[in-house]
């Protein structure tokens, strides 16, 4: 169970490391921290909020719903970062998250858009890119990312695309992880004229590398809630 003291310590340490990494890029490079609470209890989220962390992410719609309901009196920002099954889209729409980071195909976007239109709602989202080319990972292939992004803009009026999300390569070799981040950053830069604002990449084990490659949104779980 996360204590208040540990929450403050974890957050301070994280902010210190993020500060050092972002200043290496530029004084103007701001990085937003999303605390991923998927392995933690609502009480621990409340504790971390008490330490100053406001934005959280979950990877299952049901868990997101439970935590949002339990913590509804706190002014938290909620992100969805997991694989989205089509039969859960309506539930997710009803939760009205701040950002759905894991639109991983044109097919999903079209289905999502249909259900949003039926409810007369809009949502902010990121396109997930499988820049590590890993079969176990979701996301569009880098070669298709620009075209897919444009198609979603053109055909899905109820989805406001705000950028891209990637999970770094799951390997020990830092050069390979770096390459996957650079691939996503290059796509993000190309999409900036189309309104891409967020390049979400970097987790507990690789956020400094991600920031050095241009990430401006990191998703950190285990090192905040340990
Ligand atoms: C779990 C998860 C994270 C956080 O991972 P940690 O290694 O615990 O920091 C980030 N992004 C996604 C999509 C996740 O599922």
- CATH class label, 4-225: alpha beta
Span from the CA of 149 to the centroid of ligand 1 (angstroms): 23
The atom number, within ligand 1, closest to the CA of 207 reads: 9
pLDDT number for residue 38: 97
Averaged pLDDT, 81-108: 98
Q: According to the model, what pLDDT value does residue 178 have?
A: 97
Ligand 1 neighbours by CB, cut-off 6 Å? 36, 38, 59, 81, 167, 203-205, 219-222
pLDDT of the residue at 103: 98
Predicted confidence (pLDDT) per residue in 131-163, tens digit: 999 999 999 999 999 999 999 999 999 999 999
Task: Report yes or no on whether pTM surpasses 0.95.
Answer: yes
pLDDT at 192: 98
- What distance in angstroms lies between residue 33's CA and the mean position of ligand 1's atoms? 12
pLDDT score recorded for residue 19:
98
Mean pLDDT of the chain: 97
- Residues with Cβ within 8 Å of residue 115, at least 6 apart in sequence: 89, 90, 93
């Amino acid at each position: 169970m996360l204590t208040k003291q540990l929450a403050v310590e974890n957050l301070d340490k994280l902010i210190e490391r993020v500060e050092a990494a972002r200043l290496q890029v530029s004084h103007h490079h701001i990085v937003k921290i999303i605390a991923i609470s998927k392995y933690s209890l609502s009480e621990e989220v409340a504790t971390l909020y008490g330490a100053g962390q406001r934005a959280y992410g979950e990877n299952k719609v049901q868990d997101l719903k439970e935590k949002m309901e339990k913590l509804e009196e706190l002014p938290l920002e909620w992100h969805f970062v997991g694989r989205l099954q089509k039969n859960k889209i309506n539930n997710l729409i009803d939760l009205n998250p701040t950002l759905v980071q894991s639109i991983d195909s044109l097919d999903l976007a079209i289905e999502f858009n249909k259900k949003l239109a039926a409810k007369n709602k809009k949502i902010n989202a990121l396109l997930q890119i499988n820049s590590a080319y890993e079969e176990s990972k979701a996301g569009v292939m880098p070669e298709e990312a620009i075209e897919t992004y444009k198609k979603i803009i053109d055909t899905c009026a109820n989805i406001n695309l705000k950028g891209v999300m990637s999970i770094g390569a799951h390997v020990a070799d830092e050069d390979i992880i770096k390459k996957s981040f650079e691939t996503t950053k290059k796509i993000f830069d190309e999409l900036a004229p189309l309104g891409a604002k967020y390049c979400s990449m970097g987790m507990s084990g690789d956020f400094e590398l991600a920031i050095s490659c241009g990430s401006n949104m990191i998703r950190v779980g285990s090192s905040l809630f340990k």
